[in-house]
Amino acid sequence: MSVLEIVKLRSIKLRNGVLIQGLPGIGLVGKIAVDYIVSELKLKKVAEGYSEALLLPIGNAGVLIDDEGILRLPHYSFYIYEGDERDILFLTGDVQPVSWLQHKVAEEVLDFFKSVGGVEVVAVCGTTSREEKRAVYYAAGDGDVAKWLDQMGFKRSAGGTITGACGLVPAIAARKGFKAYVLMGTALSPEPDPEGGKLVVEALSKIFRFKVDLSNLDGIIEELKRRQKEVERIRESLEMRKEERRPGYYV
């Protein structure tokens, strides 16, 4: 029994098609990257996916309300990029599926992707790192893909786990015979991290040779840094006031 209803908004047939999935996760890195590419390249939506597996971020069944007061079910959105030699299907969404239906949803996404001409699957997300310098890490579906990603200059993710759709979709895809891998941009915290998203946008641009203007994303990054500095300044000011009010004696 199907758990994912794919609503096609237009008929498509991909040429040597690539699926790039960016869903909410650590630092929202993958979602920021895919949403930014979709927005900057003004890509057309070609399908939506609806499922009982897509609950609200807090885990409850419910709906979202947009800025115009319109009800909207949590869902997946598929956008097409038609390149010179091959086409890319970008997948983004409001939420990830609930854990007990992750495998089933992943299978059905891949079945749909294969039916429209898909051959390569990429999942993008965030990752934590002990290194001070940010980077893009990879995990590959097989050794040949790993060697290729090494040659592309990305860092190998050795050991550990990837939770949710970012790991499952490419892992299942590799089992089904797709070329598949994960690209992970460093996130410094669980909060939205556009710098990590920028790393992923640059990585995808390098691999698939599309051009994306990063100036708007750079502006978001600078504004976030400014706000963080302001919050830190206020915090330090409050701490100083506490110290000034503290009596110089105790009983």
Task: Identify whether residues 132 and 242 lie together within a single domain.
Answer: no
Query: Quick one: pLDDT at residue 211?
Result: 94
Across the range 59-83, mean pLDDT stands at 96
- What share of the chain in percent tops pLDDT 70? 94
Q: Assess whether pLDDT exceeds 90 at residue 154.
A: yes
Across the range 196-217, mean pLDDT stands at 96
Task: Identify whether residues 87 and 110 lie together within a single domain.
Answer: yes
Q: Assess whether pLDDT exceeds 60 at residue 248.
A: no
When pLDDT is cut at 50, 70 and 90, the band that residue 234 belongs to is confident
Query: Could you tell me if residue 2 is inside a domain?
Result: no
* CATH number, domain with residue 123: 3.40.50.10900
Across the range 87-97, mean pLDDT stands at 97
Task: Identify whether residues 69 and 160 lie together within a single domain.
Answer: yes
Query: Quick one: pLDDT at residue 42?
Result: 98
- Look-up of token digits 């609806």: 50
Q: Assess whether pLDDT exceeds 80 at residue 239.
A: no
Task: Identify whether residues 237 and 225 lie together within a single domain.
Answer: yes
When pLDDT is cut at 50, 70 and 90, the band that residue 250 belongs to is low
Q: Assess whether pLDDT exceeds 70 at residue 251.
A: no
- Out of 130-139, 155-164, 237-246, pick the least confident: 237-246
Q: Assess whether pLDDT exceeds 70 at residue 243.
A: no
Task: Identify whether residues 187 and 223 lie together within a single domain.
Answer: no
The DSSP line for 204-243 is HHHHH------HHHHHHHHHHHHHHHHHHHHHHHHHHHHH
Task: Identify whether residues 17 and 97 lie together within a single domain.
Answer: yes
The Cα–Cα gap between 82 and 5 comes to: 24
Do 150 and 137 touch, CB atoms closer than 8 A?
A: no
Task: Identify whether residues 121 and 25 lie together within a single domain.
Answer: yes
- Out of 26-30, 130-134, 168-172, 198-202, pick the least confident: 130-134
Task: Identify whether residues 139 and 118 lie together within a single domain.
Answer: yes
Query: Quick one: pLDDT at residue 177?
Result: 97
- Out of 30-44, 90-104, 119-133, pick the least confident: 119-133
Task: Identify whether residues 183 and 222 lie together within a single domain.
Answer: no
- Look-up of token digits 């079945």: 111
Query: Could you tell me if residue 195 is inside a domain?
Result: yes
Query: Quick one: pLDDT at residue 224?
Result: 80
- Out of 103-117, 212-226, 235-249, pick the least confident: 235-249
Query: Could you tell me if residue 228 is inside a domain?
Result: yes
What SS3 state is found at 91?
A: strand
Buried b (16+ CB within 10 A) or exposed e, 159-178: eeebebbbbbbbbbbbeeeb
Task: Identify whether residues 160 and 233 lie together within a single domain.
Answer: no
Q: Assess whether pLDDT exceeds 70 at residue 159.
A: yes
Across the range 174-202, mean pLDDT stands at 95
Query: Quick one: pLDDT at residue 226?
Result: 84
Tell me which residue range forms the domain holding 35: 8-213
Query: Could you tell me if residue 251 is inside a domain?
Result: no
Return phi, psi of residue 240, to 5°: -65, -40
Task: Identify whether residues 101 and 191 lie together within a single domain.
Answer: yes
Query: Quick one: pLDDT at residue 78?
Result: 99
Q: Assess whether pLDDT exceeds 70 at residue 247.
A: no
Query: Quick one: pLDDT at residue 57?
Result: 87
Query: Could you tell me if residue 136 is inside a domain?
Result: yes
What total number of domains does the chain contain?
A: 2
Task: Identify whether residues 236 and 152 lie together within a single domain.
Answer: no
Query: Could you tell me if residue 1 is inside a domain?
Result: no
